[in-house]
């Protein structure tokens, strides 16, 4: 059935009545069974004296209402534990009661730091009038989308099919079988009350039509979230098609790839970075520099405390939506570190480090793991924590320093946000340093203590709420960022933090039978992990193996990847399901790359990397199968699969890294630059070797290194190790070989005054064991040359 017709049917069935009935005052306050009532009382007492119930309804000093959400481990659900609405958490109990009482289910999905979720709570879920209707005529379920991304994805698909777009809070109406028949997002109170009355009437008067419509919409959702499509060939042209489409949406005035609101869209940035660096593409480099500089210089970046807000509400990256998400910090730290390697712009290295430092300082748990997010609101208003007046600056700094900061960050008496100022940089720090005849480092020495003074004062303000649940996938993203940024910028402290966090995550979230828990709140693990948790944790462990050479990280990653495949692989389609929730009418496949890479995209990445590091063919087969299954979709909508295309590009052309693998993982080579000296550090597994630089037999391929970007760098005084003479089973003559651990070194000389890009080194080698030789391989290394950042 055409979507527009389906939508029309649903609207007809659900919204035919426009009258708002008078609600009875009875039945809005629920009497719970004695056992449940005692559980609720005990749970409330267990919160302790510091617990602040989030409600306007109090009897003396105690909350008037307490519902089942007080028993949950979600900060978001606990926010709603004292609404007069009789909320249920997602589970069998709610669906059973809906079936028993023949009531529709109102399903509300959001998250703890969602501004419009707070607005709808205040307007509607704290309203006695709304509670009367919901409690009498509906079963109300509240879901934390960050705990249950598969539930969120399923019903968001339905809302998007109906409305053309979605968002949070998500407001859906579903049957006792979980099938949606209507949905939207935020509703003002009057509209929401009218909608509830209309749905209530339709449920009674047109019940069979509602069920038929729910079946139709459920089938449409199943089709949309499945991945069984025709197979087509994926070529490099598909990658280029995605890039050209992104460039066609490029805002050459302000940077970015959309109109307001502007999201960073990290998967797309990573695709552009990979291609700019691999192909020496000056156009892409320019687009990236414009975009990344605009993001880092605007209010989208927290100029005082570090870290990025979730998105910009305007086209200039000036006014953010002030919440901060852990996943944005993780991916943007990686983006800026890679951009530094590409451009050698010191501002990018600074942003990457400040972003990591912000999370370590402000979002770390006592166990060394990382919290999910911080809210946009404090003191009941959005952005209050982050904005300033000139008067405040002058009170905190001496006259000269205040003038410097006011000019540096574009502050005015009238402000740029509701009469106050969001800090931003009217010109880049590099431009300012050049104007003042200072080095970048000297300028930062001038700025840093002043910012520290402002930051210390800001910390005396009422802080935005922190969502202090630990999510395995998001923590894994940040561990990957710590390891990668630490490696690129040669900052060992970040790698050490990543190692400690990975072990803490493994120990806290791995249950005795080897499965993962997804959530940890107050040191209590809960909710079985989703596919994305296994995928991102595996990615983090592989990254740690790359930068530490500690083999147990690779073994842990392989173990998790095998478990992920066993749990979530749909053998019919060859793709991975998001979860295994038995109450969902479908098991959605996470394939689209949006604000975050999809679970299947990350799976392709880890399967490809495990194949290169272990040589096990099953991993190559799994990566190839996912790409084949999604190939026709990728070809039709390449910009919806930008992280997947990053992995396709890597599969065909190799990884952009200073760590490379040959002979299916039997040989690892790490490239480093130290005091203008290039070092290639080889580790070969027992029984494996490579030919020497000057082999004794002409037909053998010599080990040889060359610089790829000769316009910027020159190699000289190349030192190869002494060859060992070894006899093999396939040749009676002795061969000149390198084996075990050894180093090739060379002097590295910049050919331009500005070290404007990474050193790119080609390594030719041929690997052999005692019985045979493999085909020659060409490895390309991308090495950051800077001594200091």
517-542: burial string, b at 16+ Cβ within 10 Å, e else: bbbbbeeebebbbbbbbbbbbbbbbb
Do 552 and 432 share a structural domain?
no
61-84: string of b/e by CB count within 10 Å (b at 16+)?
eebebbbbbbbbbbbbbbbbbbbb
Are residues 282 and 406 both part of a single domain? no
How far apart (Å, rounded) are the C-alpha atoms in residues 323 and 312? 11
Rounded CA separation 340/348 (Å):
5
Give the closest residue to 684 by CA, choosing from 674, 670, 696, 699: 670
Query: Are 469 and 74 within 8 A, CB to CB?
Result: yes
- Pair 9, 213: CB distance under 8 Å: yes
Q: Rounded to the nearest 5 degrees, what angle is found at the Cα of 376, between the Cα atoms of 374 and 377?
A: 110
Rounded to whole angstroms, what are the CA distances from 549 to 204, 665, 784? 65, 12, 19
Residue with tokens 């991916």: 331
184: in domain: yes
CATH code of 16's domain: 3.40.30.10
Query: Does the residue 789 lie in any domain?
Result: no
74 inside domain: yes
Which stretches in the chain have pLDDT values below 70?
1-29, 227-229, 753-756, 786-789
Q: From the CA atom positions of the chain, what is the Rg in Å?
A: 29
CA distance 279 to 137: 61
Residue 546 confidence (pLDDT): 98
Cα 601 off chain centre by? 12
Percent helix, strand, coil in the chain, to 5, is 45, 20, 35
Cβ pair 75, 114 in contact under 8 A: no
625 belongs to a structural domain: yes
Same domain, 613 and 738: no
How far CA 626 is from CA of 299, 575, 620, 629, in Å, comes to 39, 5, 10, 5
What's phi and psi for 777, nearest 5 deg?
Answer: -130, 150
Distance between CA atoms of residues 137 and 135, nearest Å: 6
Indicate if 645 and 594 belong to the same structural domain.
yes
410 and 373, same domain (yes or no): no
Torsion of CA 576, 582, 586, 587, to 10 degrees: -10
Within a domain: residue 300?
Answer: yes
Task: Give the up-direction half-sphere exposure of residue 224: CA atoms within 13 A in the CB hemisphere.
Answer: 17
The CATH number covering residue 728 comes to 2.60.40.1250
pLDDT at res. 2: 42
Helix/strand/coil (H/E/C) assignment for every residue in 42-102: HHHHHCCCCCCCCCCCEECCEECCCCHHHHCCCHHHHHCCCCCCCEEECCHHHHHHHHHHC
62 vs 64: CA distance, rounded Å: 6
Q: Give, in order, the Cα–Cα distances in Å from 304 to each of 277, 401, 425, 432, 493.
A: 31, 15, 12, 18, 22
* Domain's final residue, options 225, 256, 273: 225
* CB half-sphere exposure, 109, CA atoms < 13 A: 28
CA-nearest of 304, 357, 681 to 489 is 357
The answer to whether residue 389 sits within a structural domain is no
Total domain count, the chain: 4
Three-class SS of residue 726?
strand
Q: CB count, 10 Å around CB of 194?
A: 17
Domain end marker among 463, 494, 509: 463
In the three-class reduction of DSSP (H, G, I as helix; E, B as strand; rest coil), residue 748 is classed as: strand
Range of the domain at 688: 659-783
* 372 and 508 fall within a common domain: yes
In whole angstroms, give the CA distance from residue 153 to residue 174. Answer: 15
Reduced to 3 states, what is the DSSP secondary structure of residue 184? Answer: strand
Q: What is the CATH number of the domain that holds 621?
A: 1.50.10.10
Closest Cα to residue 202, out of 65, 15, 402, 388?
15
- What is the predicted pLDDT for the residue at 27? 42
Tell me, what's the pLDDT at 4? 43
524, two tokens? 């209590």
- Clarify whether residues 216 and 354 are in a common domain: no
Give the Cα separation of 777 and 38 in Å (integer): 69
- Same domain? 433 vs 504: no
Q: Which tokens hold the place of 642?
A: 């930008």
Name the pairing type of β-strands 105-110 and 139-144: parallel
Residue at 392 is within a domain: no
Boundary of a domain, candidates 199, 225, 251: 225
With CA atoms as reference, report the closest residue to 596 among 643, 636, 652.
643
Distance, in Å, from the CA atom of 585 to the CA atom of 371, rounded to the nearest integer, reads 31
Beta bridge partners of 173: 106, 182
pLDDT, one tens digit per residue, over 169-199 is: 999 999 999 999 999 999 999 999 999 999 9
427 shares a domain with 328: no
Do 9 and 123 share a domain, yes or no?
yes
Q: Are residues 361 and 494 in the same domain?
A: yes
The answer to whether 318 touches 301, Cβ cutoff 8 Å, is no
Distances (CA, A) of 467 to 52, 336, 605, 736: 15, 25, 29, 60
Considering the domain architecture, whether residues 46 and 73 belong to the same structural domain is answered as: yes
> What is the per-residue pLDDT across 3-20, written as a single tens digit (0 to 9) for each?
443 454 455 444 443 333
Beta-bridge mates of residue 510: 516
Residue 58 backbone class (left: φ over 0; alpha: ψ -120 to 50; beta: rest): beta
Does any domain span residue 388?
no
């Amino acid at each position: 059935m055409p979507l527009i017709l389906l939508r029309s049917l649903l609207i007809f069935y659900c919204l035919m009545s426009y009258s708002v009935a008078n609600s009875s005052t009875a039945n809005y306050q629920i009497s719970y069974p004695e056992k449940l009532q005692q559980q609720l009382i005990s749970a409330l007492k267990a919160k302790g004296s510091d617990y602040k119930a989030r409600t306007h309804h109090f009897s003396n000093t105690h909350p008037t209402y307490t519902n089942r959400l007080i028993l949950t481990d979600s900060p978001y659900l606990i926010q709603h534990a004292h609404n007069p609405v009789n909320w249920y958490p997602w589970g069998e109990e709610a669906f059973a009661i809906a079936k028993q009482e023949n009531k529709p289910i109102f399903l509300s999905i959001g998250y703890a730091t969602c501004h419009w979720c707070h607005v709808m709570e205040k307007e509607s879920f704290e309203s006695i009038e709304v509670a009367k209707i919901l409690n009498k005529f509906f079963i109300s379920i509240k879901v934390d989308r960050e705990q249950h991304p598969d539930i969120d994805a399923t019903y968001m698909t339905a809302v998007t099919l109906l409305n053309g777009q979605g968002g949070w809070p998500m407001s859906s109406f579903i049957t006792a079988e979980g099938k949606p028949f209507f949905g939207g997002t935020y509703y003002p109170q009057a509209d929401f009350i009218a909608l509830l009355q209309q749905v209530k009437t339709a449920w009674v008067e047109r019940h069979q039509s509602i069920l038929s419509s729910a079946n139709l919409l459920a089938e449409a959702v199943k089709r949309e979230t499945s991945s069984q499509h025709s197979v087509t060939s994926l070529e490099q042209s598909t990658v280029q098609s995605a890039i050209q489409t992104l460039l066609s949406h490029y805002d050459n005035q302000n940077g970015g790839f959309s109109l307001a609101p502007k999201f960073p869209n990290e998967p797309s940035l990573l695709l552009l970075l990979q291609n700019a660096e691999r192909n020496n593409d000056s156009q892409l480099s320019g687009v990236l520099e414009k975009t990344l500089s605009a993001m880092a210089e605007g209010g989208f970046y927290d100029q005082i405390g570090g870290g990025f807000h979730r998105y910009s509400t305007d086209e200039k990256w000036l006014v953010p939506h002030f919440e901060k998400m852990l996943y944005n910090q993780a991916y943007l730290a990686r983006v800026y570190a890679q951009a530094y390697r590409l451009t050698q712009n010191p501002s990018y290295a600074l942003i990457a480090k400040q972003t990591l430092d912000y999370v370590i300082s402000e979002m770390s748990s006592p166990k060394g793991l990382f919290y999910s997010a911080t809210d946009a609101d404090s003191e009941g208003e959005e952005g209050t924590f982050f904005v300033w007046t000139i008067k405040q600056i002058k009170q905190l700094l001496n006259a000269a320093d205040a003038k410097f900061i006011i000019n540096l960050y574009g502050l005015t008496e009238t402000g740029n946000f509701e009469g106050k100022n969001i800090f931003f940089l009217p010109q880049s720090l590099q431009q300012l340093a050049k104007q003042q005849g200072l080095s970048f480092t000297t300028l930062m020495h001038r700025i840093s203590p002043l910012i520290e003074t402002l930051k210390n004062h800001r910390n005396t303000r009422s802080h935005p709420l922190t969502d202090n649940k630990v999510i395995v996938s998001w923590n894994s993203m940040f561990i990957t960022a710590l390891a990668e940024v630490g490696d690129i910028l040669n900052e060992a402290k970040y790698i050490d933090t990543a190692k400690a966090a990975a072990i803490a995550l493994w120990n806290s979230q791995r249950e005795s039978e080897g499965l993962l828990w997804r959530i940890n709140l107050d040191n209590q693990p809960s909710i079985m992990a989703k596919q994305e948790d296994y995928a991102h944790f595996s990615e983090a462990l592989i990254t740690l193996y790359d930068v530490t050479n500690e083999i147990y990280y690779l073994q842990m990653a392989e173990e998790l990847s095998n478990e992920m495949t066993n749990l979530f692989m749909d053998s019919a389609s060859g793709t991975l399901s998001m979860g295994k929730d038995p109450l969902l009418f479908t098991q959605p496949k996470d394939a689209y790359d949006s604000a975050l890479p999809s679970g299947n995209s990350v799976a392709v990445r880890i399967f490809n990397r495990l194949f290169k590091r272990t040589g096990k063919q099953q991993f190559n087969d799994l990566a190839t199968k996912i790409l084949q299954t999604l190939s026709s979709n990728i070809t039709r909508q390449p910009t919806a699969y930008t992280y997947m295309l990053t992995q396709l590009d890597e599969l065909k052309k190799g990884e952009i890294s200073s760590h490379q693998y040959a002979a299916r993982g039997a040989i690892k080579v790490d490239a480093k630059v130290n005091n203008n000296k290039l070092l290639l550090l080889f580790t070969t597994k027992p029984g494996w070797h490579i030919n020497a630089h000057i082999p004794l037999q002409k037909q053998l391929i010599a080990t040889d290194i060359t610089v790829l970007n000769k316009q910027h760098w020159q190699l000289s005084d190349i030192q190869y190790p002494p060859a060992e003479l070894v006899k093999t089973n396939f040749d009676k003559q002795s061969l000149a070989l390198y084996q075990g651990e050894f180093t090739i070194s060379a002097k590295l000389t910049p050919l331009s005054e500005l070290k404007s890009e990474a050193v790119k080194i080609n390594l030719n080698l041929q690997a052999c064991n005692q019985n045979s030789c493999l085909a020659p391989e060409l490895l390309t290394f991308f090495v950051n040359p800077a001594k200091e950042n």
